[in-house]
Amino acid sequence: MSRKYFLYALFSLHLLFYVLALTVGNTRIADSYDYLYQAENLRNSGSFYAGNLEEPIKPDYYTKRTPGYGVILYLLQSTEWLVLLLQNLMSILLWWMVFKLLLEFQLEEKKAAWLVLLVLMFQSNTLIYANSILAEIPFQFLLFLGFYFLYKDLKHENNWNWLLAGFIFAVALLFKPVLLFLWVPLLVYAFFRARQRRRFQLIWPVFFMPLTVLLWSTHNQNSTGWTHFSSISTVNIKDYNTRLMLEAIHGVDSADVIISELNRTAAFIPDYGHRSRFIMDTCKAIIKANKWAYAKVHTKGMMAMMLDPGRYDYVQFFQLHTTEQGFMYKLARGDFRGMWDTLRKQYFLTIFFFIVNLFGSAVLFYYSLKGLRRLPDETMLVILLIGLIAYFWILTGPVGTARYKSAILPFMVLLSGLGLVGKKSEIR
């Protein structure tokens, strides 16, 4: 396949889902409204509050969403077709960059084109994210762009590459709090690269990220009285990490009782900061006391992230809503019989995408592992790829979904490309 036909196919796939989104698709999930409220409140009152200001105020919502995506919606007046168009253009540019890098890895042009297109077809929920009011695609694009400049540094000594990478990662941090600690492994990597090339000016751009954390946390302290980056971490540790571990140990009913009692006790603490710290400290203590049970639940979430076919994404996008509990809900609780019953009751379209995406997830995971065999040839490149993938994979938590995997999908494609090239080929 020539580059011209590859571009035609790339545009066509995105255009198909863009048209579906504007005609029959549901472009919003519950998280979408947080961002839309944030943009509206920024426009009307200069506040980053991610909820309806006409309803009772929830302190968590002042910091629930970092400001990056809300600012995009604000600048585009929350005009849906324009936001989705921008996200599709970002996605197209990202996959074109992936294709170009695969060529630099000396993967044949035909193979590189088909690899990218097959990933988009067999992991097509990433096309749904491009056509949903969600921060996933801008975050995916910025994360890959930051990696791109680090890769350029591997090939060409230029201080601008590190400067741009550090700045872009700092901007990406304002889209997703999951990037909060990435600066630590990047700092280690920067020290290694600086010592290797005797260019210690490589180190300081990494500090764009902790500086961003400090500035946004200070803003949040002014809003809530508590210095923190995002309240979503408190929600996650209580309602996902701790709850799912307790369900695995004691069952759903007992877990509900423990979490409800925690919520009741926390409600008597008037200060927001003290209340949040109480919740986090209590949850950390519960997890620490049951660390092996938690490790099992967390590991299951990591595997789910890699293999999740994204049933929820298709059910929402094509508006195939059901009243039953979701597939991933039952997987997180080990209810495998319930998972089978759920799958049997789905629409044909959902089952089709489920099978296709599950197959695509398994094959991509396999070829990503094969890419590790290039380690002796391109050590620094593979370490960079593995490091970024491992960071998000480990931090996914007990609830691993295809949506979380979107951040690392381009890196897995590159690692798969390295596996397809073979052991002995040299990267130009």
Q: Rounded to whole angstroms, what are the CA distances from 187 to 149, 207, 385, 392?
A: 15, 8, 16, 17
CA torsion sign for 286, 287, 292, 297 is positive
| Dihedral sign computed on CA atoms, order 226, 229, 234, 235 | positive
Tell me how far apart the 2 most distant CA atoms of the chain are, in Å.
65
Q: First vs last Cα of the chain: how many Å apart?
A: 21
- The rounded distance, in Å, linking the Cα atoms of 232 and 313 is 21
Cα three-residue angle 302-181-91, rounded to 5 degrees:
70
Taking a C-beta distance cutoff of 8 angstroms, is the pair 403, 310 a contact?
Answer: yes
pLDDT confidence of residue 327: 55
pLDDT band at residue 190 using 50, 70 and 90 as cut-offs: confident
Which residue do the tokens 């979490």 mark? 259
Does residue 409 contact residue 126 with C-beta atoms inside 8 Å?
Answer: yes
Q: Which two tokens stand for residue 417?
A: 């490309």
Angle formed at CA 385 by CA 384 and CA 388, multiple of 5 degrees? 85
Residue whose tokens read 């007990």: 398
User: Please, what is the average pLDDT of the chain?
Assistant: 87
Residues above pLDDT 70, as percent of the chain: 90
> What are the tens digits of pLDDT across the range 138-151?
999 999 999 999 99
Highest average pLDDT, of 75-84, 240-249, 415-424, comes from 75-84
Which residues contact residue 284 at a Cβ distance below 8 angstroms, ignoring those fewer than 6 apart?
237
This prediction's pTM: 0.90
What is the predicted pLDDT for the residue at 14?
A: 96
CA–CA separation, 60 vs 175, rounded Å?
17
Q: What phi and psi values does residue 156 have, to the nearest 5 degrees?
A: -140, 125
* pLDDT per position as a tens digit, 233-242: 999 999 999 9
Q: Which residues make Cβ contacts (< 8 Å) with residue 419, sequence separation at least 6?
A: 367, 368, 369, 370, 371, 372, 373, 374
Q: Give the DSSP letter string of 329-387.
A: HHHHTT-HHHHHHHHHTS-HHHHHHHHHHHHHHHHHHHHHHHGGGGTTTSHHHHHHHHH
124-138, 152-166, 179-193, range with the lowest pLDDT = 152-166
- pLDDT bucket at 137, cuts 50 / 70 / 90: very high
Count other Cβ atoms within 10 Å, centred on residue 428.
8
